[in-house]
């Protein structure tokens, strides 16, 4: 296990390997690429990322992978929404056309219907959220590197703690459709450092004035 926590950059998995401790591999902080022999019957790799052979599940995304983007195959139906893409270089994730469970928009992963934002890549600093999304989960939680958030037309409500401790926010774009931002939606955020962009006479202006934001 010591080698996994030191300087290992590339992991080669031979055709005979049928069991891998994926937790151990995921904890290898220097790992950049996982390669699997074509003949292996249990595992496969796509662009250096470890999958089950049928590509239905991502088992390990190397923590030190250097590519800024990644495409989720159309076959993939499972990954850990909190832990899989913990990689400081990753900026954009795209979902291949034809995937039955996931979709992507502006480099983030959503459910197929785009009602739920599932994963924001670690290196992403600007996030554009489509109007179909219901903002009621904690995907943004403590993402202090995000500086710009744009909510698109169609979003009506932002629930409490959605932008919990997103302390880096400088620009916030709010649509005309927005009717309410619940108390504590920006818990831990100094809203006086935020510039709100929106149309006059809408909730965006009301929110900005109420919280001391530049409008």
**Residue given tokens 């850990």 in the structure block:** 80
pLDDT of residue 26: 85
pLDDT of residue 7: 78
> DSSP letters of the chain?
-GGGGTT--EEEE-TT-----HHHHHT-TT--EEEE-TT-SSEEEETTEEEETTSSBEEE--TT---SEEEE-TT--B--TTTTT--TT--EEEE-TT-SSEEEETTEEEETTS-SEEE--TT--EEEE-TT--B-S-TTTT-TT--EEEEPTT--EE-TTTTTT-TT--EEE--TT--EE-TTTTTT--GGGPEEE--TTSHHHHHHHHHT-B-
pLDDT per residue, tens digit, the chain (215 aa), is 455 556 789 999 999 999 988 888 888 889 999 999 999 999 999 999 999 999 999 999 999 999 999 999 999 999 999 899 999 999 999 999 999 999 999 999 999 999 999 999 999 999 999 999 999 988 999 999 999 999 999 999 999 999 999 999 999 999 999 999 999 999 999 999 999 999 999 999 999 999 999 99
pLDDT of residue 6: 64
pLDDT of residue 186: 97
- pTM to 2 decimals? 0.93
The structure tokens listed for 125 are 């600093």
């Amino acid at each position: 296990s010591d080698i996994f926590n030191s300087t290992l950059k590339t992991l080669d998995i031979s055709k005979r390997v049928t069991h891998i401790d994926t937790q151990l591999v995921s904890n290898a902080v220097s790992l950049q690429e996982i390669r699997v022999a074509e003949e292996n019957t249990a595992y496969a790799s796509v662009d250096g990322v470890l999958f089950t052979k049928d590509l239905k599940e991502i088992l390990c995304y190397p923590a030190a992978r250097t590519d800024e983007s990644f495409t989720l195959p159309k076959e993939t139906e499972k990954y850990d929404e909190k832990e899989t893409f913990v990689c400081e270089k990753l900026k954009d994730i795209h979902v291949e056309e034809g995937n039955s469970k996931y979709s992507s928009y502006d480099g983030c992963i959503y459910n197929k219907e785009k009602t739920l934002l599932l994963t924001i890549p670690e290196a992403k600093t600007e996030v554009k959220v489509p109007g179909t999304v219901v903002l009621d989960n904690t995907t943004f939680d403590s993402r202090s590197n995000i500086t710009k958030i744009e909510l698109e037309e169609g979003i009506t409500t932002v629930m409490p703690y959605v932008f919990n401790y997103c302390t880096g926010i400088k620009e916030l774009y709010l649509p005309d459709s927005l009717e309410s931002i619940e108390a504590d939606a920006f818990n831990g955020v100094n809203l006086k450092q935020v510039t709100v962009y929106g149309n006059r006479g809408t909730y965006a202006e009301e929110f900005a004035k109420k919280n001391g934001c530049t409008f």
